[in-house]
């Protein structure tokens, strides 16, 4: 019989609006901690994989940061919501399958059901992190308001009702990301080096 999968020691669940810098910030954490300690998990990964297959699309482009995915975003949101209605943990389970590093960085929680799934599966290890940027900054990074996307649960589902453990302000005139991420990196390093998975 196969060994049971090891539990993570820390699960950092990130959320934030489009172009707030979720990928940028989580990539920075990944590069600081290294691939043996930390993995990035994207809930949109299995969603895009399945959606691309069913619709004959280019998965690499759908996963990339370019404009390609934006053509399909509104429809992918609806498609994913149908799946989630039947099983709210569907994409969370697929995205975490096989992850073996002690620190998991989930880069794209969007809904309360995503956060609830991690808090229920890993209550001691889960922490929530919000990445925020002003609309001006997001616009400079290529964002423009799209009806059916920016006013939908996918973008607004975590606007209220959550007390984040950390809020990272990803702006040129905010304290540096290095500085803001210090407590998170410290916790991750402690968690990774602790011998027991039962406590942080
Ligand atoms: N602090 C930053 N410094 C420089 N470029 C940034 C910063 N934050 C984000 N970006 C850039 O802005 C764009 C959007 O960021 P991204 O991380 O893809 O946002 P999200 O994943 O939230 O949609 C990317 O091109 C990214 O490289
Ligand atoms: C259908 C989606 O999963 C698409 C997510 O795509 P990305 O995770 O690439 O989005 P950003 O990084 O915010 O630009 C959204 C959803 O509601 O599940």
Strands (E) in the chain, as ranges, are: 10-16, 38-41, 103-109, 126-132, 166-169
The string of pLDDT tens digits covering residues 19-77 is 999 999 999 999 999 999 999 999 999 999 999 999 999 999 999 888 999 999 999 99
Whether 146 maps to a domain, the answer reads yes
What phi, psi does 96 have (nearest 5°)?
-95, -5
Q: Which of 92, 108, 117 to mutate to test the pocket of ligand 2 (most atoms within 8 A of CB)?
A: 108
For 25, the 3-state DSSP assignment is helix
User: 107 with 14: CB under 8 angstroms?
Assistant: yes
Evaluate: CB of 74 within 6 angstroms of ligand 2.
no
Whether 2 maps to a domain, the answer reads no
Whether 134 maps to a domain, the answer reads yes
ipTM above 0.90, yes or no: yes
Domain with 101 in it: 10-192
Whether 119 maps to a domain, the answer reads yes
Residue 188 sits in a domain whose CATH number is 3.40.50.300
Whether 24 maps to a domain, the answer reads yes
Whether 200 maps to a domain, the answer reads no
Give the pTM: 0.95
Cα–ligand 1 centroid distance for 14 (angstroms): 14
User: 195 with 120: CB under 8 angstroms?
Assistant: no
Whether 198 maps to a domain, the answer reads no
| Total domains, the chain | 1
CA distance 164 to 127: 8
Evaluate: CB of 165 within 6 angstroms of ligand 1.
no
Whether 4 maps to a domain, the answer reads no
């Amino acid at each position: 019989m196969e060994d049971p999968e090891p539990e993570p020691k820390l699960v950092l669940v990130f959320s934030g609006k489009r172009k707030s810098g979720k990928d940028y910030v989580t990539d920075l954490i990944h590069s600081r901690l290294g691939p043996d300690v930390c993995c990035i998990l994207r809930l949109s990964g299995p969603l895009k994989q399945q959606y691309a297959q069913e619709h004959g699309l280019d998965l690499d482009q759908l996963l990339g940061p370019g404009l390609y995915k934006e053509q399909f975003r509104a429809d992918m949101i609806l498609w994913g919501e149908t799946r989630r209605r039947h099983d709210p943990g569907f994409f969370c389970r697929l995205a975490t399958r096989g992850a073996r590093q002690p620190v998991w960085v989930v880069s794209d929680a969007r809904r309360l059901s995503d956060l609830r799934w991690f808090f229920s599966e890993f209550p001691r290890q889960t922490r929530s992190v919000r990445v925020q940027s002003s609309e001006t900054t997001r616009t400079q990074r290529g964002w423009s308001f799209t009806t059916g996307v920016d006013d939908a649960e996918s973008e607004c589902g975590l606007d209220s009702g959550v007390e984040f453990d950390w809020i990272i302000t990803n702006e040129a005139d905010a304290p540096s990301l290095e500085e803001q991420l210090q407590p998170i990196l410290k916790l991750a390093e402690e968690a990774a080096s602790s011998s027991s998975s039962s406590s942080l």
